[in-house]
Amino acid sequence: MKFFVDTADIDAIRELNDLGMVDGVTTNPSLIHKSGRDFKEVTREIADMVDGPVSAEVVALDADTMLAEGRHLAEIAPNVCVKVPLTWAGLKTCKTLTDAGTQVNVTLCFSVNQALLAAKAGATYVSPFIGRLDDLNLDGMELIREIREVYDNFAFDTRILSASIRTVNHMKEAALAGSDVATAPPGVIRKMADHPLTDAGLQAFLKDWESTGQKIL
Ligand code: G3P
C-alpha cells in the first residue's frame, strides 16, 4: 500500500519524505487554510519536494469553471493531481482532464455507486472518506472492502485512495482491505511505529546492557 501524507505542512512532509515514507501528498481547502500558506505557492513547494502525485483541489461548483481551475492547477507542476468533488460536475471535469492525460483524484466519495461513477469517468484515484462515515456510526472500512471487490470484478484501473484516516487501525485495516493508497495525517504515520512492548523491551535491554559495564563507542 502506498502512503500519501494528508497535509500542507511542509516541514512534516519533508521529515517523512526524507525517511522514504511519502509516495504522494493530498491537500484540500481545509488543510490549506490550516497551513496559512498561499495555495499555489505551497502546492508548488510540495510538488518540487516529493516525487509522487500531489493532490490540489478545485473549489468551483460548475463544470466549466472547475475545468478551468483544474487546468490551471495542473500547470503548477507535472506531478500535480487535480482533486475534484464527487458531483456530476466533478465527474465531467474528471473525464475531460483524464482524457487529456492529467491525473485526477475524485474526492468526497461515500458510496460504492459513487466509486463506480468515478471509475467510469476515468479517475486516477477515488478517495472514500473512512473517518467521516465512522463519525455517523457507519462502517467506513466496509466501503473500502466493497469498492475493492467491485473494482476487481471489472478490472477498473482507478486506484482506491483511503482518506479521512484518523487512527493507526485505519491504516492496518485499509492495507488488509487492499486499498491501493492510504492518505493519513503525519501524526498517524508516526504513531504506526509505537508499541508498548517495543518500549518495555528496549528498557529491559538497556538495563541489562548497563549491568555489563560495556560500551559500544
Ligand atoms: O483526506 C481527506 C481528509 O483530509 C479528511 O479528513 O479527518 O477531516 O475527515 P477528516
| pLDDT (0 to 100) of residue 153 | 98
Query: What is the C-alpha to C-alpha distance for residues 78 and 52, in angstroms, rounded to an integer?
Result: 10
Protein residue with its CA nearest to atom 5 in ligand 1 = 164
| pLDDT (0 to 100) of residue 174 | 98
Ligand 1 site-directed mutation target among 28, 54, 126, 129, most atoms within 8 Å of CB: 129
Q: Which residues line ligand 1 (CB under 6 A)?
A: 6, 26, 28, 129, 131-132, 163-164, 166, 183
Closest ligand 1 atom number to CA of residue 131: 9
Q: What is the pTM of this model?
A: 0.96
| pLDDT (0 to 100) of residue 54 | 98
| pLDDT (0 to 100) of residue 18 | 97
Closest ligand 1 atom number to CA of residue 135: 9
Burial label for 58, CB within 10 Å (0-12, 13-18, 19+), is buried
Q: What is the DSSP string of the chain?
A: -EEEEE---HHHHHHHHHTT--SEEE--HHHHHHHTS-HHHHHHHHHHH-SS-EEEE---SSHHHHHHHHHHHHTT-TTEEEEEESSHHHHHHHHHHHHTT--EEEEEE-SHHHHHHHHHTT-SEEEEBHHHHHHTTS-HHHHHHHHHHHHHHTT--PEEEEBS--SHHHHHHHHHTT-SEEEE-HHHHHHTT--HHHHHHHHHHHHHHHHHT----
Protein residue with its CA nearest to atom 8 in ligand 1 = 164
Collect the ranges in the chain with pLDDT lower than 70. none
Protein residue with its CA nearest to atom 7 in ligand 1 = 164
Q: Are 174 and 144 in contact (CB under 8 A)?
A: yes
CA of 163 to the centre of ligand 1 (A): 6
Establish whether 83 is a catalytic residue.
Answer: yes
| pLDDT (0 to 100) of residue 132 | 98
Give the Cβ contact number of residue 175 at 10 Å.
12
| pLDDT (0 to 100) of residue 163 | 98
Protein residue with its CA nearest to atom 4 in ligand 1 = 164
Fold of 2-212: TIM Barrel (3.20.20)
Query: What is the C-alpha to C-alpha distance for residues 172 and 188, in angstroms, rounded to an integer?
Result: 11
| pLDDT (0 to 100) of residue 213 | 98
Catalytic entry in 83, 120, 191, 215: 83
Protein residue with its CA nearest to atom 6 in ligand 1 = 164
Query: What is the C-alpha to C-alpha distance for residues 78 and 48, in angstroms, rounded to an integer?
Result: 10
Query: What is the C-alpha to C-alpha distance for residues 88 and 142, in angstroms, rounded to an integer?
Result: 24
CA of 189 to the centre of ligand 1 (A): 14
